[in-house]
Structure 1
Amino acid sequence: MNDLLFLILFPCIIAFILLLLSNNRIRHAIVALSAVIISVASVWLLATSYARGAVYYAVPFEPTAQVMFAIEMGIALLLLYLGFRFKQYLAVLLVLVQSAMMLVYEFTMSHGMEPVNNLFCDQFSIIMALIIGIIGSLIALYATRYMDTYHGHHPEVRDRRRFFFFVTFVFLAAMFGLVFSNNLSWIFFFWEITTLASFLLIGYSESEEATNNAFLALKMNLLGGIAFAGAIIYLASVDPSGGLLQLDTLITSGQAAAIVPAVLIAFAGLTKSAQMPFSSWLVGAMVAPTPVSALLHSSTMVKAGVYIIVRFSPVFLGSLAGLAIGFVGAVTFLVASAIAISQSNAKKVLAYSTIANLGLIVACASVGTPQLVWAAIMLIIFHAVAKSLLFLCVGTVEHRTGSRDIEDMDGLIVRLPRIAVMMFIGMAGMFLAPFGMLISKWAAIEGFINTPFGLVFVTILAFGGALTVFFWTKWMGKIIAVTPFGESLESTISRQKWVVLSCLTALTVIAALFFPLISGALIEPYLLDVFGATARLAQDNIIIMALMISLLLVLPFSLLFYAKDGKRMPAYMGGREVTPDLHFTGSAGIERIMTTRNYYFADLFGEKKMLRVGDPLCILLILLAVAILAGAIL
């Protein structure tokens, strides 16, 4: 239990130390040292606990719960103050509703409750701890230099780096607490801290746009928080002893007892993981500094949403409510993938790609067969690694070139060759064989075939996957296009950033190379423990994937050895002469520069147009799940 408590409490201690420190150099050193310690502690947990299965720890409930409740009320008061200050009255109302529900629970229902096993650790918790501990720490380390550059580029933004790193490490602590808690009221406490932390980080710049987007995220996540609070109140009324508040007890209690809280908590998961119609908050979060985006997308916040839905997958298995929530994820996957085609802003492409992949995870987890849960967990792993790498690379490119537009990334292989290679590997990790996203989609197709409405799910996955190929390959073509202009900018990137980006690139490749080991040591034992059955890929498939990865990696790594004095062929312009620097004589004898540009199909896949389809459809599916829920209660 000491290792779990260390991972929860150590980032909190570091957070308060960083809040008090004004010296930039000392702050950098403490963040770096803390990142190493948290990463090592996460790996130590893996080494010591992966073979033990699920282990539960008795932690005193009452004193800890009282401290958590006091902090929750403090958070509520802070949010009420900020809501009134910025005239966000809907946020104020939602905070009041949620606080009133928790006050009712605390003063009329929680007395006499004595859940025993309040902390636990199993293979899925270890996977999540590795994602939080390693990727989250690397992002925090990257942020030290990034925030220095950020304030150099944005002198109008008030320097609040002490506050930034304080919230970042609190975020990591809350995520550790969330994945190690077996008590739903404790999970709710950490859940709300992630909501507060994301709200504060999104609004970091204090601009009007950042403030509005931060409140949008807050309001949507408060809706989920109210549903989560409703689940806790329901369980307290059904079982006054508090036994059903224990996650393991609730899940094994049977679908009849668990389906109501499962649907309510899944709704909270949909808001947290930015599924439609709640996707706009995650897109709006792009206004925050890049490390915030990387944190939200890879190791915190949205992963909390899909984590809790995966936990309840045994309850959803074979239920109509599970199918309805699964279709919310499937529709989100398809629509968000289509929207990504119409975006030229790199961070928006990454945002909609994240929303799409989270949708696929939700679909797999909600249908809930062992094979689909296997696919969901693999998607969580590979998405976390590759997406954190891509966000940090885009942030680096933006600071070095002054633009995050994909069309301005022409010739990145010339200007930032190592960054271009890293981005190429990150993108390959998102959709090319044999990287994990494609492996997981492959497994998902096999899993969906044998489920109700399986052909509908497979069709959605096939079309969504095709759209994914479209927007990633467009971007890939831009970054590896060789151009005769542009000077190398890599010497301006700090060593600390190189270390983080190199580690994430290595993790992307290592995860693909060793996915059978990850599956055999962690995922399959977890599935066996939860479902009494597991899912395996055929040995022949593993051999094929091993051969494919050896061939696939030839291209990106060969780019490292691109010779600047190599032979360059002039562009072909239908017989018109083109100079070596790509100038040609256009109509009326006007000299022009030859350029290439992607199609974005805004008329077909524009954001507003697609959301007009996706949002209402997902609302109807959520209402269907609620109707099924009402039927279960009655």
Structure 2
Amino acid sequence: MSLITVLILFPLVVSIVTFLVRKENIRSAIVRVGAVGTAVLTVYTAIQYFNSGLILSIGETEMIDLFIIVVEVGLAAYIITTGIRTKKYLVSLFSLFQTCLILWFEFTQKAGIEVETGIVFDKLSGVMVLVVGVIGSLICLYAVGYMKAYHDHHTEVKERKSFFLAVLFLFLSAMFGLVLCNNLMWIYFCWEITTFCSYLLIGYTQTKEARNNSLLALTINVGGGVAFACAIVMIGMNFRTLELSTLISMKPEALVLIPVFLLCVAALTKSAQLPFSAWLLGAMVAPTPSSALLHSATMVKAGVYLIIRLAPLLGATSVGRIITLVGAITFLACSLMAIAQRDAKKVLAYSTIANLGLIVMCASIGTQESIWAAILLVIFHAVSKSLLFLSVGSIEHQIGNRNIENMNILMNVSRKLSIYLMIGIAGMFLAPFGMLISKWVAMKSFIDSNNIIIVIILAYGSAATLFYWGKWIGTLVSNGSGKNNGHHGVFSLDEELPIFLQAVIVVFSCLAFPLISKFAIVPYLSDVFGGTAMAPIGTGNQIIMVIMMAMLILLPLGYIPLSKKEKSRVTPIYMAGENAGDNENFIAATGVKRKSDLSNWYLEGYFGGKIFTFWSNMITISILCVGVLLLIWRWAL
């Protein structure tokens, strides 16, 4: 049994064992061991294959293919039945169509198609394995402490922790398979498993809202699966291959671009791009570990991973331009919509969709510079956003809600959580953290490729990004009105350790980005485009950015007193009037004592309504329809 096989199957075994064990202490120990084991296996696998890579030819695959078909039929039966029972007939229709199509292809058209390379471990899949394995394992570890506190606060929710934790590990197993497989049928199988797992996680609480949102996620992503299945059939019948690497090496002709467009549509649904974003916003009803897993390391990254793989076939083609526009509109619209949100998880959800739109833009431009930026964005977004989701989950238990306005007391409640949250926010928008570095390279690549409209969209979307991140971090450091009314929960070690480690990873990844570029991204681009690729940022600039990061780390040392005798003078807060003495009330111009109320501007009338969402969806739907018409026209010619 190869190391790759062990890596894929280990989380699956942990998932099964976790589901079967009902005693909490034993189950928690299994999850901890499973999370650490998955992380260790991930790092060891990366060390073994990162330099030399791995191309694995699977001999007899009949048993594997048969197992996949049986599981797919079982999933389809469950989804069809669920759709009929809940009167969501569209998801039943989608599932029935794609399953019948795959079965027809498997038993009538697939004969004679040989898949020589079943597994590929190259630099890109290596990066994705590290993101999934390390970040995903920390999320699973965090879930042990979080779910205990969750059920202490939500006594109305039926306790199904064995089920929840088991699905998390199943998710990791499917993601490992998705990023390592080269066989499109196997990728499709793992793709559908992640869809089903997201449905189970979103519906965990079994409330009416959770059930509706989980069915919405299932419908949209199974719809994307229909596009994926159609692409597989077209590739298999027209080119007699099922290897992703073979598809990528083809010339971007009309007959190739049609299945590529279908694969991109499937990727857009998985990455929750407009007009398919509603499922990810609805996923916020799920417990925080599932939000972190869906939105940072696994579910949504599967879509952008596929588009990065297909990047050589996009670029200046009609498909490339259509996907670029969809990503651009998504980035701008969701960045603006994030401004109008007060709920921290909704801000994170909209910013996730927006940043995935930026990654889609970079990947679909298809130049070396833009793909370099896309891969770095995947890394930095995964580590920073996961840190933010986990921090917000623990903050909710500490202060009793997720309202950003109420986080001005967080310094008094938990200074550690405040610092972790600020590190995560800084990782998303401050220089020299990686997201801003990647955006700078993205801007340069868009200018070099003469995509001026995309440059303008990036500029305005980034301005909106600065607005809502700056607003949030300003609330955290304001330490404004409000008192610590006592802790609402215990910040357990199972929660704190993963959050601390992810904060370290955020800082370390920014310091190490020149090494990531040199040893991972540049070699990958050299293999894809041929010749010797170059990093878009010169060595001198890289050194300057690392020094800036080091200065940010050393900056807090300036607040340490130089001597024990040093004294500081505490002054009352200025409130546009005389402070009443309690830092909460002030004497107004009329001599009346009034309570100070600090509140940010949310522009809800402009970006928070359904009208803005409706027109954003209409624009992206129109763009995709134009893409379909262009492909039909080219194919007819």
In structure 2, C-alpha distance between the alignment counterparts of 1:86 and 1:232, rounded to whole Å: 30
- Supply the RMSD in Å over aligned alpha carbons: 2.0
Aligned to 2:608: 606
Equivalent positions of 1:444-459 (< 5 A) are 444-452=442-450, 454-459=451-456
Q: Percent identity?
A: 44
Match of 1:470 in 2: 467
Q: TM-score, normalised by structure 1?
A: 0.96
Aligned counterpart in structure 2 of residue 247 of structure 1, from 216, 241, 244: 244
Rounded to whole Å, the distance in 2 between the matches of 1:269 and 1:412 is 38
Q: Which residue identity lines up with residue 611 of structure 1 in the other structure? A: T
Match of 1:480 in 2: 477
Distance 2:557 2:427 in 1: 14
Is 1:202 the equivalent of 2:187? no
Shift of the 44–488 alpha-carbon distance from structure 1 to 2, 3 Å rule, reads farther
1:588–1:35 distance in 2 versus 1, CA, 3 Å = same
Relative to structure 1, the CA distance from residue 525 to residue 189 in structure 2 (aligned partners, 3 Å threshold; closer, same or farther) is same
Q: Which moved more, 1:85-94 or 1:154-163?
A: 85-94
1:103 CA displacement: 2.0
1:6 paired to 2:22: no
Displacement of 1:413 in angstroms is: 1.8
1:625 is aligned to: 627
Q: Distance in 1 between matches of 2:124 and 2:527?
A: 11
**Which residue pairs with 1:433 in the alignment?**
431
String of CA shifts for 1:280-321, please: whole Å, max 9, x gaps: 110110000000000001111100010000000001122121
Query: How many Å separate the matches in 1 of 2:560 and 2:157?
Result: 37
Match runs of 1:38-49 below 5 Å: 38-49=38-49
**CA distance in 2 between partners of 1:129 and 1:577 (Å):** 55
Aligned to 1:134: 134
Q: Are 1:31 and 2:28 an aligned pair?
A: no
Farther-moved stretch of structure 1 (103-112 vs 494-503): 103-112
Q: 1:383 aligns with which of 381, 384, 407?
A: 381
Say if 1:217 and 1:281, in contact at 8 Å, map to a contact too.
Answer: yes
The structure-2 alpha-carbon separation of the partners of 1:252 and 1:410, relative to structure 1 and needing over 3 Å to count, comes to same
Match of 1:16 in 2: 16
- Segment drifting more, 109-118 vs 144-153: 109-118
Question: 3-state SS of the aligned residue for 1:113?
Answer: coil
1:546 Cα deviation (Å)? Answer: 1.6
Contact 2:572–2:579, Cα closer than 8 Å, also in 1? no
Contact 1:313 1:367 survives alignment (8 Å) = yes
> What is the distance in 2 between the residues matched to 1:59 and 1:405?
55
TM-superposed deviation, 1:568:
3.4
Match of 2:321 among 300, 320, 323: 323
Whole-Å Cα distance in 1 between the matches of residues 153 and 80 of structure 2?
33
Larger CA deviation: 74-83 vs 197-206: 74-83
Distance 1:341 1:558, change over 3 A: farther
Measure how far apart 1:35 and its partner are.
1.0
CA distance in 1, matches of 2:426, 2:91: 40
Q: What letter matches 2:477 in structure 1?
A: I
Question: Structure 1 residues 589 and 295 mapped into 2: Cα distance closer, same or farther (>3 Å)?
Answer: same
- Residues 504-525 of structure 1, C-alpha deviation per residue, up to 9 Å, x if partnerless? 0000000000001011111111
| Secondary structure at the counterpart of residue 119 of structure 2 | strand
Which residue number corresponds to residue 586 of structure 2? 584
Is residue 2:51 matched to residue 1:51? Answer: yes
More displaced 10-residue stretch of structure 1: 54-63 or 539-548: 54-63
1:101 equivalent to 2:96? Answer no
Task: Spell out, residue by residue over 1:25-56, the C-alpha distance to the aligned partner (whole angstroms, 9 max, x if none).
Answer: 11111111111111111111221111114534
Q: Which residue of 1 aligns with 2:493?
A: 495
Q: Secondary structure at the match of 1:317?
A: coil
TM-superposition CA deviations, 1:430-482 (whole Å, max 9, x none):
01111110010010011111224x11111111111111000001000111122
Q: Is the 8 A contact 1:58 1:117 kept in 2?
A: yes
Say which is worse superposed, 590-599 or 462-471, in terms of deviation: 590-599
- What's the counterpart of residue 311 of structure 1? 309
Preserved contact between residue 380 and residue 435 of structure 2 (Cα < 8 Å):
yes
Note the alpha carbon deviations across 1:387-411, whole angstroms, 9 max, x for none: 0000000000001111100011013
Shift of 1:354: 0.2
Shift in CA distance, 575/405, structure 1 to aligned 2, threshold 3 Å? closer
Q: Give the distance between the partners of 1:273 and 1:95, measured in 2 at CA.
A: 20
Give the partner amino acid of 1:480.
Answer: V
* Residue from 591, 595, 602 that aligns with 2:597: 595
The code of the aligned residue for 1:445 comes to M
CA distance in structure 1 between the partners assigned to 2:479 and 2:527 by the alignment: 52
Q: Secondary structure at the residue paired with 2:578?
A: coil
How far is 1:588 from its partner?
A: 7.5
Q: How big is each residue's C-alpha offset from its partner over 1:96-143, in whole Å with a ceiling of 9 and x where there is no partner?
A: 121221122122212232212111110111100001100001001100
Residues paired across the two proteins, number: 628
2:533 paired residue number: 534
**Maintained 8 Å contact 1:260/1:632:** no
- 1:102 and 1:575 mapped to 2: Cα distance? 71
SS in 2 for 1:592: strand
2:91 corresponding residue in structure 1 = 91
> 1:574 Cα deviation (Å)?
3.2
Does the CA contact (< 8 Å) of 1:294 and 1:392 recur in 2?
A: yes
Contact in 2 for aligned 1:79/1:92 (Cα 8 Å):
yes
Q: How does 1:23-422 map to 2 (within 5 A)?
A: 23-53=23-53, 55-240=55-240, 243=241, 245-256=242-253, 258-422=256-420
1:558 & 1:135 partners in 2: Cα distance? 32
SS in 1 for 2:57: strand
Mark the runs of 5 or more structure 2 residues left unpaired by the alignment.
none
**What do the CA deviations read for 1:226-263 (whole angstroms, capped 9, x no partner)?**
000000111121134xx2x1011111122125322211
1:567 CA displacement: 4.0
Cα gap change, 1:424/1:29 in structure 2, threshold over 3 Å: closer, same or farther?
same
Q: Distance in 2 between matches of 1:417 and 1:183?
A: 48
CA distance in 1, matches of 2:103, 2:556: 56
TM-score by length of 2: 0.95
Separation of aligned partners in 2, 1:607 and 1:431: 25
Q: CA deviation at 1:595?
A: 2.5
**Cα distance between partner residues in 1 of 2:592 and 2:176:** 62
Q: Provide the C-alpha distance between the structure 2 equivalents of 1:607 and 1:304, rounded to a whole number of angstroms.
A: 30
Aligned-partner residue type, residue 455 of structure 2: V
Distance 1:224 1:566 in 2: 60
Aligned pair in 2 of structure 1 residues 534, 474: CA closer, same or farther (>3 Å)?
A: same
Q: C-alpha distance in 2, partners of 1:488/1:570?
A: 23
Do the aligned partners of 1:53 and 1:526 also contact (CA within 8 Å) in 2? no
The 1:150–1:574 alpha-carbon spacing in structure 2 relative to 1, beyond 3 Å, is closer
- Contact preservation (8 Å) 1:61, 1:118: no
CA positional deviation for 1:560? 10
Distance in 1 (CA, whole Å) between partners of 2:328 and 2:559 is 36
Change (3 A) 1:167 1:199: same
- Residue 622 of structure 1 aligns to which amino acid in structure 2? L
Match of 2:582, SS state, is: coil
Does structure 1 conserve the Cα–Cα contact (< 8 Å) formed by 2:577 and 2:589? no
Partner secondary structure for residue 427 of structure 1:
helix
Q: Which whole-Å CA distance do the structure 1 matches of 2:453 and 2:376 have between them?
A: 22
CA contact under 8 A between 1:53 and 1:525: conserved in structure 2? no
Is the 1:129–1:176 contact (alpha carbons within 8 Å) kept by the matching residues of 2? yes
- Residue 512 of structure 2 is matched in structure 1 by 514
* Mapped partners of 1:568, 1:615: distance in 2: 52
- Mapped contact 1:350–1:391 kept (Cα < 8 A): yes
- Structure 1 residues 568 and 597, CA gap change in structure 2 (3 angstroms): farther
